[in-house]
Amino acid sequence: MSTILDHPLEQSILLPFLLVLLINLIFAIARKHVDPNRAIAVSMGLGILFSYLSTFGFPPFPARTSGQKIFYILAAFTVIAPMTSIFRAGLAKSIFLLTGIIGLCWLLWATAIQQLTHVIPITVGILLLWYVTAYEAERLIQIRKSAVLPAIILATGLSALAATSDALSVAQTSLSIAACVAASFICTIARNGAGPSWPINYVYFGPLLAISAQSLLYGGPWRYAVFALFASLFAERVTSGIMGRNRSNTTAYKFMLVFFSLIPVAISVALGVILVPQQDPYN
């Protein structure tokens, strides 16, 4: 069994998927009156963290590299997420943005700061991604739409983009987030009362944005394709504008939603392949 879980795909998909289901089941059995959104958020956060530990081991503190810092940023979202259910929407959104800014400053510290003229425009772009994602996450909650699809699309898209560029640590971590989101969706169906909420959106989008920020700061030329990837957040707006929100439960609407979500993924992966420096086979 331990040999099976040593494989990167099992570490990235099977282990976090099963952990989210198991931890949420323990919550459901032990304390049935626990808010299901909190339980799902905590189980998903722990699933992502355990997947990271199984792949990379426990990072030192204080962390020295961006990859090590990511673990503590993921842990911060896991801790904060269940508390946001008691916040009003505006405060939850503000804390989401503040957590992102603090994490970004930590990622910037001591390394990227040495190339300030190069980092400033990238930092502005990252902050824009955080704001747009927070705005769209809040909108999905208001219209009672699940963020499962955009979260899975973003996670798998980022994983594919990183994999095409040999950024395997980013690809694995992103894939584990996609697996956790898929498991959380099953938990949402199984548990009455769970639905679109800030606790769940924290652990959906916070880790993805943190990894995207790391990629944009320290990745190769392929990293610019991340901006195109996040256009998938607007797939629901585009689909509703074309078909009308009153048709959101129809098969045609869901098909179009998936279609418009995948277009930015295809564009970003294509851009990533184009932007990867070609290797000279004679060197």
Residue 25 forms part of a structural domain: yes
Measured distance CA(93)–CA(95) in Å, rounded? 6
Residue 152 forms part of a structural domain: yes
Is 209's pLDDT higher than 90? yes
Length of the chain: 283
Residue 52 forms part of a structural domain: yes
Asked whether the CA dihedral 12, 18, 23, 24 is positive or negative, the reply is positive
1 band by pLDDT with thresholds 50, 70 and 90: very low
Is 2's pLDDT higher than 50? no
Half-sphere exposure of 121 (CA within 13 A, CB side): 4
Is 95's pLDDT higher than 80? yes
Measured distance CA(209)–CA(130) in Å, rounded? 7
Characterize 213-233 residue by residue with b for buried, 16 or more Cβ atoms within 10 angstroms of its Cβ, and e for exposed.
bbbbbbbeebbbbbbbbbbbb
Residue 235 forms part of a structural domain: no
Residue 279's pLDDT is what? 42
- Could you tell me the residue range of the domain that residue 153 belongs to? 4-219
Is 264's pLDDT higher than 80? yes
Residue 201 forms part of a structural domain: yes
Residue 230's pLDDT is what? 92
Q: Cβ(249)–Cβ(139) under 8 Å?
A: no
Q: Which of the 8 DSSP states describes residue 34?
A: S
Is 87's pLDDT higher than 70? yes
Non-local CB neighbours of 56 within 8 Å, separated by 6+ positions: 67, 71, 169
Instruction: Give the mean pLDDT of the chain.
Output: 82
Residue 147 forms part of a structural domain: yes
Residue 234 forms part of a structural domain: no
Residue 236's pLDDT is what? 86
Residue 106 forms part of a structural domain: yes
Q: Give me the mean pLDDT over the 81-108 stretch.
A: 85
Measured distance CA(20)–CA(181) in Å, rounded? 9
Measured distance CA(85)–CA(155) in Å, rounded? 24
Is 282's pLDDT higher than 50? no
- For the chain, percent of residues with pLDDT exceeding 90: 13
Residue whose structure tokens are 């503190």: 61
Could you report the per-residue pLDDT of 98-135, keeping only the tens digit for each?
A: 988 998 888 887 666 666 667 788 888 999 999 999 99
Is 170's pLDDT higher than 50? yes
5 band by pLDDT with thresholds 50, 70 and 90: low
The number of folded domains in the chain is 1
208 band by pLDDT with thresholds 50, 70 and 90: very high
Q: Which residue has the higher pLDDT, 283 or 237?
A: 237
